[in-house]
Every structure is written in structure tokens, then in C-alpha cells.
Structure 1
Amino acid sequence: RDLIAAHQVQVFSSNYPLYGDLSQRVMEVLGQLEPEVEVYSIDEAFIRLPAAMPEALLANGRHLRATVKRQVGIPVSVGFGPTKTLAKIANRIAKQQPEHGGVFVLPEQGHDALLAAIEVGDVWGIGRRQSQKLRLGGIRTALDLKNANDTWLRKHLTVTGLRTSTELRGVSCLPLTDSPPAKQSITSSRSFGQPVTDLAGLHEALASYVAIAAAKLRAERLTAGCVQVYLTTNRFRAREPQYANSTTVSLALPTASTLELIRHAVAALGQLYRSGFAYQKVGVTLMDLGAASRGQPHLFCPPPKGGEALMTALDKVNTRWGRDTLHSGAEGFLRPWKNKQTMKSPSYTTSWHELPVVG
């Protein structure tokens, strides 16, 4: 706290509706400026541009950055490269080195020195486990990965690692996609505002997260055939007893019903729970996703609770009046486990009650 006060650090609680709204606004601006945009995540997008001189690319990047700042009000970083992986590296440089003004064009030739300064674990697509494997193999930087032996990469990192290395050499292996790939899973979890020790509190939290995931599932017109539940203590509190576990349940009939998914998830949690631990997080992942139309009645299974008509009504009410206007009783009401968000920034763009006032 003393360090925060000394440097006047501003601390805010998470505000996911605000982040999502600002992300949508940024992506809309990008789509207005450029015809070929791939929205990669909530805070990342790729743009395909025609070949141009570095000076023209730099001017384009500055115009893009200024337009987003003017229309949305937040800064963005812009990096140019011949492949997605190299563009990500250019973006990293633009973000971390203020002298570039938030825009950096990776030179076509002579950028090995830049790659040599980037740790291999910071390369897009290289996870923690892959990074450990690479370091054991003597590959410590992005330049090392670029120059690595193809046979070794295919053996130890499969074709994914080889693809990343090839991209670092300037050969595009990851084309721009006009539409996002079909979801393989939907996850919902949060760290608790305070540790939870009792099974009832975990039940409420898990049911709440299942409801969020199920609403997303229905919005995508999908059903889930598997439910994975996991819980964990706080690994950063090393002096406290530690426990983490997960389990996956296959459903006899794929469903998007909040009530059915809660029933299966809570049953799975009962198998995982161990008393005597202070839990920091519980979560759910819906898997084996498919079109909502695939569900066929099962000869030996009773009709699921919370049918399509009920879920449609639930979604309509919550869309009209706000999330949690209607919810399952299993989600609880007081929710002492919930993150308090006492330092949340105002939802200027997503709540009528928090609109800024102009005097």
C-alpha cells in the first residue's frame, strides 16, 4: 500500500461489461477504416493491408491509432509485420518502447537483433510448458526459435511450434480469417472476493458461473455434451493447505439448459470437494459443443428440466432488464463469495445510471 501511495498508482476493480463495450467500439472503428479485419480477442485484431513502403505503413498506423483515440477515447498499439507472429512482435515493441509513439513497422531485413532481445516465452503461441521445453533445448530467444531445426521442433513442439518458427522467418502460415473459428469450449470462473470453505458457498458460486456459461452457449445457438468442473485453493498462500482438482462429466443428452447444466455441475463438485481447505476459485467449462438442433430424445432419459421455452423466456427477461433479474435459486442471493468490486470504474457506456454528467 505504501508503494502504491508513493507512486500515486490508480487501482480499479474489474468491469467486464465496460471492457466488452469498449472492445466492440474499437473493432467497429477498425472495420470502418480497413476492409479486412480479424477480431482475434477482446483486445486484439489483425488487419490485412496491401504491400506498401514502411513510411506509408507508419502513416497508416498513426492514422488508425489517432482515429481510435478520437472516436473511442482509449490508446491502442499498432505493429506491422509480414506474418501474424512478426506483427505481434512489432506490436510488443510499439507498446513497450515509448519512443515509437505506439506504432512500429518491423523492418523487412535486419530485424534479427530485435528477435534476439525477445525471450522465447514472450513469442505469440509459445506457452509456459513449450517455453520450458525450448529452454532445455537451448532455444532461449525468438531468434533462436526462428533458426531452430525443423525436425527437432516437429518432434518436441509438433507442427504448432514449427509453424511459429516458420512465421518468424517471414513465411505466413496463419492466414486472416473472416469469421472466428467455431468455439470448442466455454469457460466461466472468477476468483472469490474472500476464501470459501463450505460446500454450500461453492455450490452457489459454481451455479452462478454455470448460468453465465449457459447464457453464452444459448447466444451461440449451441449445446454442450460435457461439463468440466474445477476448484483450487490460493497457490500464492504457500503456508496454507493446498488442493486443486477437476472432473469431467459426459451428458447423456447435449443441453443448453441452465438448470440441467447446474444439476450436473453441482453433482460433480460434490465429488471434488474436500473439507479443511480455503478455496480461492471454482469454475466450469462446457465442452463437446454442437448445434442446438443436434439434441435428440433419449429412450432411457427423462425430458430435461428447464426446456427451450423456459430458457428463451429467461434470456429475454435478463436481456431486457439486466443479467440476474431472473436466476436459479441455486445461485443464491447474498453471495458473500462474490468479488466486491468496491473500486470499480463507472460504467459510462453500459449503464444509464452511471452516465457522465455534463454541467
Structure 2
Amino acid sequence: MGGSYLCNSQLPAGENRVNRNRKMTALVDCNSFYASCERVFRPDLTGRPVVVLSNNDGCLVAMSREAKEMNIPRGVPLFKVQKQLKQAGAAVFSSNYTLYDDLSRRVMDILEGFTPQLEVYSIDEAFLILQGSREELLNQASRICERVYNWLGIPVSVGIGSTKTLAKIAGKRAKNIPGGVCFPAEEEWPEILEATDVGKIWGIGRQYARKLHSRGIISAADLMAQEESWVKKEMTLVGLKTLWELRGRPSFTLEETPSPKQGIMTSRSFSFPVTEKEDILEAGADYASGAAAKMRAQGSSCRVIHTSVMTNPFRESDRQYARGITEQLSFPMNYPPSIVAVVRRQLEKLYRPGFRYKKISVFLSEIEQTGEEQMDLFYSKDDRSTAVMEAVDHINNRYGRHTLHCMPLRPESCWQMKRQYLSPCYTTKWKDIPVVRSGAPLPTPLKAEQS
């Protein structure tokens, strides 16, 4: 299949009829998702720059459109731009992952109402398969934008193409189009691909982009013109599939059921240097519980647990220390108290007094699906542990992650993440549910949906 495109008027009559009801891939992308989540329950932030910080309130990781127009680079430390943000009247927030996860789930629930063929690609993106004529597809995309905004207050954009790669390209353009929908006609694609740098193509990283640029392959159109044999040799089978996708041949299938993770890590830097063993053990227990919850959510168990500690290598005046321990378990494990016990035992061996610890990590690997494990001959499973954790998960999902946990969290502990600008968990904690007062003006909805 070549790299040229035909508009519908040039297609044979039979193909024209097929394309009136063809299946297309749509990418739904939440615009400035973290910042948009912070605005949902704060209408007073409309029109103001909004920024969201990384763990421990270190760097800017998400910005609203107004903040991006200030030409502040993503990833810059907060202290370098704090004065500039204050002068612009910007709202600054710590990362509220509980809020973002819950609103993301609600967005995906809405999208499932349009099609059962959906792949949740990330916290703020999803691929959908839509079917119909061009007019019907444009109508569906507009209804998606309207419904998500009217029901949740989250603005989204929709890019439509015959493949996931083309939908990704269209999705980037949709963010700058009024109405938030981009569905290029066949005759528009050559110009779009000519204007798309190869480094912006989904799946092509910096290393491949530099390599292609050095060979004079600058745009997506340039890549499409290359021989398939050369692309496979230089960019492997994944690169060849990307070429096919650019030419309109679907090669990356929709993953309606995400593949289970083969390794799960929980790792965060402390907001302040930690010196006390009790803080290290408490943090390790919390990280182990979090990793175990993720593993249990995908119906898995692990055979290997690796725990490590390290000081801050950038503080040259401090004594440096970094060690890790890996333990092979005698049977697959997903029961949090047992995993926490292993991690605490490892940290007891790793801890050395006199050091200022910056970070610990807990990594679960050799993951197997529950029910498919190879058990020890003398292993006897206690079904009560499964029932206990189902009850614990239900309570924590309803009332907050730390409602029930394996180790008490002391109020005076100093290892917990710094969140000076944390917003309430409006949708997951009873005490944070916003109070509604009558007489307050309602936000203006997008165009009313057709019934």
C-alpha cells in the first residue's frame, strides 16, 4: 500500500458505500487533565492559570492553557517561577492523585456509553472504535465532548483516523480546533503528515527521531516514503507497524483488556531527609501495601520482593549509602500483611544509623495470575485472607486508602510526601464533599445534547 491518499470522490462506487459505514479509531484526550480536575469544583479558577506540582511539591508537571501561555517550561522547579506565578494570580496545587484517578474513572465510564470497544490508554486518554458515515462520526465525537464536559466539567478533544497512530496525530490538532474535534478528510492527510515532525509520531522516541533527522527524514510524510524493508531493518517490527499505520493500515490492535503488569514498583523520595529507623519501616510498610493493592487489583501474586534504600547523591556533603535486598518467596504471595512483613524484615537489615535517607523503593516481580501459580507441595492456602482483603479493599475504596492499613501511621512521622497545596478529595471522602448553596450561578453548559 502506498503513501498516497484518495478522497471519497475518487474511490470506486463499492468502496464509497463501504466508507459510509466504516469503523474508525478515535482518541479521546482530556485537555490539561490535572489542572482541569482542580477546576471542576472551583469555578472561581476559570480563566486563571492553574499549575500542578510533582511529588513533594518539587516541579511543575501540569499546566492549564493560561499557564502554558506564560511560557513557563514544564518540569521547572516551583521556587524558580513562584514569583512569576504569584504576579499572574496563578493557582498552585499539589498532586491529588485520588481525585484524578476517580475523575478519570468517571470519564471512562461515560466513554463506555458510546461504544463497548474501548482501550484505556492512560489516566487521561482512551482509544475508541466508532462506526458510521463521516457525518455520523463527527456527530458522535461532538457528543462525546459535550457529554463529558456537561456531566463532569472536564474538557476533552477527539481525534479520528483510520488507525491509532493517525488518531493520535489528529488528536493533537483537535486541541487547537474550536469544538475540540479533528477528523481530517482523505485529501487533507498529505498536508497534515508533511507538517508532522517524525519526533511527534506516537511510538517514535527521541533516539529514533534523531536518527531519522540525521538521514533527512524530517516529517511523517518523509517516513511514509521509505521502503518497508529499510524501516524494518532500522526501526524493528514496531517501526514497520508505525509505517503501516501512517499509510492507513491498522497494525496496533485495541487492547480492551489491559495486560497484567509483570513488575510493580512503589518508589518516592522523602520530602525531608529521614534518619530514624521507625520512619523507614513505616514508609516501607505503606509502599508495600500500595504495591500489593495494585497487584491484587489485577488478580496477581508475586514470587520476588526487592527493597532498596538510598541517600541523596546530589548532597555531596552527606555520607552516601545505597543498598538493596532481593528475596525469592517460597510461594506466590499477594496478602499485604505477609508482603509488609517481608519488606520490614529487609529494611531492618538495610538500615544503618548515621545516614540521611532520601528514598526507598519496593519492587514486586515474577508476577503470576492468581489461580495459575505453581504452588509448593506443602503449601496450604488460607481462604480467610482473601475474604479479609476483599473487605479491606472495599472499605478503603469507599472511605479512603488509609482507613485500614497494615501499620499505624504516626502523626509525627516525617517521611510522608510534602503536599502543602493539596486540594480536597471532593468525590472520595465524606468530609471533603462540597457544600452546595442555593442561588449560586451555574456554569454555562456546552451545546445541549440531542436525546
TM tier, shorter chain?
Answer: 0.7 to 0.9
The C-alpha deviation readout for 1:285-336, integer Å capped at 9, x for no partner, is 32322232244653688999x9546545544554565322332338666441
TM-score normalised by structure 1 residue count:
0.81
Residue by residue over 1:160-214, the C-alpha shift from the partner in whole angstroms, topping out at 9 and shown as x without a partner, is: 2221222122110122243223333333333433344666544432321110111
User: Is the 2:286–2:407 Cα contact (8 Å) retained in structure 1?
Assistant: no
Bigger Rg, structure 1 or 2: 2
* Alignment partner of 1:111 out of 153, 169, 189: 189
| 2:115 aligned residue | 34
1:290 match: 368
CA RMSD across the alignment: 3.6
Structure 2 residue 202 is the aligned partner of structure 1 residue 124: yes
Count of aligned pairs between the two proteins = 354
**1:40-93 CA distance string (max 9 Å, x none):** 22211111122522x543333222101111111110111111101110111111
Counterparts in 2 of 1:192-271, with a 5 A limit? 192-196=270-274, 201-229=279-307, 249-266=327-344
1:185 to 249, 253, 263: 263
> What percentage of residue pairs aligned between the two structures are identical?
40
2: CA distance between counterparts of 1:285 and 1:326?
A: 22
CA–CA separation in structure 2 for the residues paired with 1:73 and 1:127? 33
1:336 and 1:146, CA in 2 relative to 1: closer, same or farther beyond 3 A?
Answer: farther
| Residue identity in the other structure for 2:267 | S
What displacement does 1:129 show? 4.6
> Using a 3 Å threshold, how does the CA distance of structure 1 residues 28 and 311 change in structure 2: closer, same or farther?
closer
Deviations along 1:5-49, one digit per CA (max 9) or x if unpaired, are 122222111112211221121112112233432222221111112
Residues in 1 aligned to 2:432 and 2:283: alpha-carbon distance in whole angstroms: 27
For normalisation by structure 2, the TM-score amounts to: 0.66
- Secondary structure of the structure 2 residue equivalent to 1:50: strand
**2:441 counterpart residue number:** none
Structure 1 distance, partners of 2:179, 2:321, is 46
1:220 deviates by 2.9
Structure 1 distance, partners of 2:145, 2:202, is 22
Show CA shifts across 1:187-244 (max 9, x none): 3333433344666544432321110111222233321123344566778x69788988
Q: Partner amino acid for 2:143?
A: H
Residue among 144, 154, 160 paired with 1:74: 154
After superposition, residues 267-278 of structure 1 pair within 5 angstroms as none
1:269 & 1:126 partners in 2: Cα distance? Answer: 40
SS in 2 for 1:49: strand
Distance 1:134 1:331, change over 3 A: farther
Contact 1:207–1:330 (CA<8 Å) still a contact in 2?
A: no
Q: Take 2:90 and 2:148, find their aligned partners in 1: how far apart are those partners?
A: 25
| SS of alignment partner, residue 159 of structure 2 | strand
**Distance in 1 between residues matched to 2:341 and 2:207, nearest whole Å:** 34
Unaligned runs of 5+ in 2: 1-81, 438-451
1:7 aligned onto 2:85: no
Rounded to whole Å, the distance in 1 between the matches of 2:243 and 2:321 is: 37
Query: Contact (CA 8 Å) 1:85, 1:164: kept in 2 or not?
Result: yes
